[in-house]
Amino acid sequence: MRLSLLILCLLGRFTALADLPVPPQVLDPLTAAEAWNVIRLSTTNVARLLKEERLQEVPAQVSLCSPALRLLARASTAPEHRQLIDQNTALAFRLVNDIAQAGTARIPASTAAGFARLQAILDELKPAFDPAEVTAEIHVCPQHPERLSTKSDAPCPLCNSPLRVRRIPYTDVNPAPLTPLTRLNLESEVELTKGVETRLRVRLQTLTGQPLASNQLVPLHGAPVRFLLVDQTLQDFHLLTPTGTDQPGIFEFAFTPAAAGPYRLWAEIAPAETALPEYPAADLGGEFKIVSRSTRDFLDVVSTTVGGFRFDLTFTGGNGGSPPLRQVSLMRIHVSDSSGQLVTRLEPLMQAFAHLTGFYDDGKTVLRVHPVGGDILREDLRGGPWLAFKIYPPQPGYLRLFCQLRVDGRVITAPLGIHLTR
């Protein structure tokens, strides 16, 4: 009992620190099939985090196993399996605790050794359960994620929608698929004229050429598809929500370029197969080439004033105040008005009090960051003056950041920028 209480405390603490978006019932499995599904997804994610050396995030993931282990420990089973279940679930609880502590302390060898031992204990536990329960996939309704089923062809009893395979994100800070599944193509060549609205029609497909309809995508902040646009000097940025068409995979939107191009267009989508964001890209108005440092100096910009509002960017730790590479760290943006007064009336914008989009100077790498605390689902809520973000810079280089928020009904876009060093 004491160990269970300790695990519960650790689970609450680490999950809060990580702010990990966890699907419903992951923390409260009701069947052995649900419990084994959580354990399989969680341990797969821990293996990914260890491979990427993201030790700080291991505690939140491995702790998801604890409620599942509690259910397995109480499971009704044949008498000959009782001792095996009691021993191995107790050992697994202790190992979850050890792994979480080692990950928090950033001790790679201890974290990896504890995880290898946990995997061995779980393998020994599996024969005490029905193989169908151990390997079960759990399917959920996109609109009613509390509705679960082990049957892929069982529609949601509330809305009759087809179910999707349940996934647990391995991180909420700069996640990436091991292998991208999507691509983006323009339906026709586009000519850009500075200051003139341009309408675009684009096609989203799988790598095998199948169209990607909205219902095949997991919504991110309230929309299945958004588009990011930036010119090659990293000065003119647009974040757009398109309209769908009667053709699957075809989306339309318009923007007014501040330059004649070229621009790079990224789609922000999360295929239901992985539930991880992907950013397939295409170029507009010619070949997109980042302007070299020899012709343009990219400057650090940690304070700027736009539209009568001042934005101040700060970091915790790192080299010279900038965030450390390949580690999750905290950064904050402080918003005040022209008189120096704190701004506490930030309005929800696409289910967040701010959207932070970063483009590296390689022209290929995109970071999308949102304030900690999860989606804002009520339009009457207000935020500010501090906005806290978790950031995981994957590589050195110059990172142009665009912070977007809404105040008094106006959308403000503030450009910032930092150099990231090893």
pLDDT tens for 106-157 read 999 999 999 999 999 999 999 999 999 999 999 998 888 888 999 988 889 9
Q: Is the pLDDT of residue 398 over 80?
A: yes
Q: What pLDDT is recorded for position 22?
A: 81
Q: What pLDDT is recorded for position 214?
A: 86
Q: Encode pLDDT of 317-333 as tens digits.
A: 655 578 889 888 999 99
Q: Is the pLDDT of residue 183 over 90?
A: yes
Phi/psi of residue 48, each to 5°?
-65, -45
CB 266 within 8 A of CB 365: no
Q: What pLDDT is recorded for position 291?
A: 77
CA 97/CA 63 separation, integer angstroms:
8
One-letter amino acid for residue 417 of the chain: G
Q: Encode pLDDT of 384-393 as tens digits.
A: 999 999 999 9
Q: Is the pLDDT of residue 64 over 90?
A: yes
Between CA 379 and CA 283, with CA 213 as vertex, the angle to 5 degrees is: 90
Written as six digits, the tokens of 384 are 């500010």
**CA dihedral defined by 87, 89, 93, 98, rounded to 10 degrees?**
60
Mean pLDDT of 159-187: 92
Q: What pLDDT is recorded for position 63?
A: 96
Instruction: Specify the 3-state DSSP secondary structure of 26.
Output: coil
Q: Is the pLDDT of residue 347 over 90?
A: yes
CA 331/CA 14 separation, integer angstroms:
19
CA 262/CA 272 separation, integer angstroms:
32
Q: What pLDDT is recorded for position 264?
A: 97
Q: Would you put residue 189 in left (φ > 0), alpha (ψ -120 to 50) or beta?
A: beta
Q: Is the pLDDT of residue 61 over 80?
A: yes
Mean pLDDT of 249-256: 96
Q: Which domains does the chain possess? A: 2-136 (1.20.120.290), 183-284 (2.60.40.10), 303-420 (2.60.40.1940)
Cis before 21? omega within 30:
no
- Pairing, β 198-206 against β 386-391: unpaired
List of E strands, 54-192: 139-140, 148-149, 164-165, 182-186
Q: Is the pLDDT of residue 182 over 50?
A: yes
Taking CA atoms, 244 is separated from 29, 184, 287, 310, in Å, by 37, 15, 27, 36
Mean pLDDT of 403-409: 97
More confident residue, 18 or 398: 398
| Structure confidence at residue 374 as a pLDDT band (50, 70, 90) | confident
CA 103/CA 58 separation, integer angstroms:
6
**Which element (helix H / strand E) includes 355?**
strand 355-360
Taking CA atoms, 390 is separated from 177, 323, 331, in Å, by 19, 10, 6
The single-letter DSSP state of residue 87 is H
Cis before 385? omega within 30:
yes
Torsional sign, CA 18, 110, 39, 279: positive
CA 54/CA 20 separation, integer angstroms:
14
CA 122/CA 44 separation, integer angstroms:
13
Q: Encode pLDDT of 187-241 as tens digits.
A: 988 899 999 999 999 999 999 999 998 888 988 988 999 999 999 999 999 999 9
Q: What pLDDT is recorded for position 15?
A: 38
319 HSE (CA, 13 A, CB side): 11
Entry pTM: 0.87
CB 359 within 8 A of CB 366: yes
CA 357/CA 176 separation, integer angstroms:
15
Q: What pLDDT is recorded for position 11?
A: 41
Closest CA to 418 of 291, 288, 304: 304
Closest CA to 190 of 68, 283, 66, 273: 283
| Structure confidence at residue 272 as a pLDDT band (50, 70, 90) | confident
Written as six digits, the tokens of 152 are 């892929």
